[in-house]
Amino acid sequence: MPKKMTEDKLAALKAHLHQDQHHLDAGQKEALGERLADLERQLAVQLPLDSEDLENRLLAWEAKVAVEHPVLAAIVRDAIQKLSSMGI
Mean pLDDT of 71-81: 82
| Pairwise pLDDT comparison (88 vs 70), residue with the higher score | 70
Q: What is the mean pLDDT of the chain?
A: 77
Query: How far is Cα 38 from Cα 33, in angstroms, rounded to an integer?
Result: 9
Burial 18-34 (b: 16+ CB within 10 A, else e): eeeeeebeeebeebbee
Mean pLDDT of 1-27: 72
Q: Is residue 51 predicted with pLDDT exceeding 80?
A: no
CA 38 to chain centre: 9
**Longest Cα–Cα distance in the chain:** 36
- Res 50: pLDDT: 67
Q: Is residue 20 predicted with pLDDT exceeding 80?
A: no
pTM: 0.43
Q: How confident is the model at residue 4 (pLDDT cuts 50, 70, 90)?
A: low
Domain positions in the chain are: 3-86
Query: How far is Cα 88 from Cα 43, in angstroms, rounded to an integer?
Result: 11
Q: Is residue 47 predicted with pLDDT exceeding 60?
A: no
- Angle, CA of 44, 64 and 70, to the nearest 5°: 105
Please report the sign of the dihedral spanned by the C-alpha atoms of residue 22, residue 77, residue 65, residue 56: negative
